[in-house]
Amino acid sequence: MYEVIIIGAGSVGTPTAMSLSERGIKTLVIDSGNSAGQGNNKCAIGGIRATHSDPAKVALSLHSLKTFSTWKEKFGDDIGWFMGGYTFVAYTEEVSKALQSMIPAQQKAGLNIKWCDSDQIRELVPGIKAEGLLGGTFSPEDGSASPMESCYAFQRQAVKHGAEFHFGETVTAIRKNENFTVVTDKGEYTASKVINCAGSFGKEVGDMVGIDLPVYPDKHEAGITEPVQRFFNPMVVDISKIAGSANYYFYQYSTGQIVFCITPDPPLLGTDTEETSTFLPQVSSRMVNLYPRLGNIKVRRTWKGCYPQTPDGTPILGQAGPDGYFVAVGMCGQGFMLGPGVGEVMARLVDGKSTEEDEMVLNAMRLDREFSGTETLK
């Protein structure tokens, strides 16, 4: 008998297990993969930002940032944290206006962000295309870390505090009587509470208790280059759309590699993670055009992962369906950066100790919302 069973040992489930076990709550994590983070966590590119348009996400991310940025100092593990900041660059009036209009609300939510002119951006990203550059935002306290190293570190911490992890086990059903019985292909486990952190399979795990979670994964390819000496610090994001693709972004990881990703437009729904021939020509033409120097860095590896999307680009968090069933799903590709913050909010919620800020976050991300808006920086 466990107090909580978490389904999914990924970007969200693992830090949630850590937060719960730190509170002394007896927790079991079940995952079909054979080690932590084998779903979308290992496909994440590692960017961590509080630069969002939605105050609830800003709040979650600020908590996450605190966890990532202080981890090494607290626990000694190197999770690859690098505080290089984020810059969203503008080459059109439309993008420039959209970015600038968000700044007041972001600053109000506690984010350190400012608008930079073209010269300042060129200083941040030496060699970026000057022609047409109108400026961009810069949030110096955002950064990056290794998704897998972080996930393993969170897992170790959770295990240290008594959490159990069952790998290679697939949840097939959930029964609710007085308690929950979680049925897997290898056994049955009971707990008073269940948290659905199932990433791409969040909807299926919702179906097991009869609730409809509007989580629809779409596919994104990413790549990593050889490592080189550091030549720029921030994650560079271009949110302008062209035929075939929406935004794309890249940064230099703590050990020197460039990691990059692009968002296909229209989105490609599905959960397969097989590489396509479209990705490299598409992403390279945009990256090399924006930052010509990248033309000579060698691509080492590419992969594909999923963004479990919701209709409005905002996660679904909180109690849902039967009493004692909680969800932390629909991270829309931000599970890694939101994970530690989500874990804290979920642990406090399960423990009955939500703060005022938690209430604001849980209200904004509740299941029974309209799902009508669209997050500008999703």
Partner 1 sequence: MENKGRIDRHPVLSPLPDSWVKFTFNGRDMVGRTGEMVSSAVFANGEHVFGHHDKDGAALGIFCANGQCSQCTLIINGVPLKSCIVPLEDGMIVRSVEGLPKLEDLEPPLAQLPETIETDVLIIGAGPSGMSAAKELGAAGLGVILADDKDRLGGKLVLQTHKFFGSEADCRAGIRGTKIAEILAEELQEFPSINIWMESIVLAVFSDGTVGIRKPEGYKIVKPKQLLVASGAREKSLPFPGCTIPGVYGAGAFQTLVNRDQIRCSERIFILGGGNVGLIGAYHALQAGMTVVGLAEVMDKCGGYKVHADKIVRMGIPIYTRHTVLAAHGKENLESVTIAGVDQNFNTIPGTERNFKVDTLLVAVGLSSVNEFHHKAVKYGIPSMLTGDAEEIAEASAAMFSGKICGRKIADSLTDRSGNIPSDWLDKAEVLKSPGGNVEDYSEIAEKQGVFPVIHCFQEIPCNPCMTVCPKGLITTSGHPVKGLPKYEDGCIGCRKCVAICPGLAITLVDYRKNKDFPIVTIPWELGDQVVKKDQIVDVTEWQGCIIGTATVVSLKNAPGYPSTKLLDLAVPHNIANRVAGIIVQKSDVTKSEKINIEIPVSDDSIVCRCEHVTAGEIRDLLRQGVRDMNELKSRSRAGFGACGGKTCETLIPRIIRDEGISMDEITDFTDRPLFAETRLGIFCGKQSE
Residue selected from 227, 264, 267, 311 as contacting partner 1 according to rule CB under 8 A? 227
Helix 55-75 to helix 93-108 angle (10° resolution) is 70
Site for partner 1 contains 35 (CB under 8 A) = yes
Query: Quick one: tokens of 30?
Result: 């079940």
C-beta of 277 vs 372, nearer to partner 1: 277
Q: Which residues have C-beta within 8 Å of that of residue 199, sequence separation ≥ 6?
A: 8, 10, 11, 12, 39, 40, 306, 308, 329, 331, 335
Q: 3-class SS at 182?
A: strand
Residue selected from 75, 115, 231, 371 as contacting partner 1 according to rule CB under 8 A? 231
Task: Give the interface segment with partner 1, choosing from 10-18, 130-138, 279-287, 325-333 (CB under 8 A).
Answer: 279-287
- CB of residue 14 vs partner 1: minimum separation in angstroms? 13
- Confirm if 7 and 182 have CB atoms less than 8 A apart: yes
Question: Which residues between 150 and 179 bind partner 1 (CB under 8 A)?
Answer: 152, 167-168
Task: Give the interface segment with partner 1, choosing from 1-9, 224-232, 306-314, 343-351 (CB under 8 A).
Answer: 224-232
Which of 140, 144, 120 has the alpha carbon at shortest distance from 130? Answer: 120
C-beta of 175 vs 230, nearer to partner 1: 230
User: What is the contact mask toward partner 1 in residues 280 to 299, using x (rule: CB under 8 A)?
Assistant: xx-xxx-xxx--xxxxxxxx
Site for partner 1 contains 275 (CB under 8 A) = yes
Q: How many residues bind partner 1 (CB under 8 A)?
A: 46
Q: 3-class SS at 150?
A: helix
Query: Quick one: tokens of 140?
Result: 């110096």
- CB of residue 258 vs partner 1: minimum separation in angstroms? 8
- CB of residue 254 vs partner 1: minimum separation in angstroms? 12
Cα–Cα distance measured from residue 325 to residue 287, given in angstroms and rounded to the nearest whole number:
43
User: What is the contact mask toward partner 1 in residues 98 to 127, using x (rule: CB under 8 A)?
Assistant: ----------------------------xx
Parallel/antiparallel/unpaired status of strands 164-166 and 143-144: unpaired
| Chain CA centroid to CA 281, Å | 26
- Confirm if 324 and 67 have CB atoms less than 8 A apart: no
- CB of residue 28 vs partner 1: minimum separation in angstroms? 18
93, 96, 316, 343 from 130: Cα distances, Å: 15, 15, 40, 41
- CB of residue 146 vs partner 1: minimum separation in angstroms? 8
Q: 3-class SS at 224?
A: strand
- Confirm if 329 and 197 have CB atoms less than 8 A apart: yes
Site for partner 1 contains 303 (CB under 8 A) = yes
Site for partner 1 contains 33 (CB under 8 A) = yes
Binding residues vs partner 1 (CB under 8 A): 33-36, 38, 42, 126-127, 148-149, 152, 167-168, 225-229, 231, 256, 272, 274-278, 280-281, 283-285, 287-289, 292-303
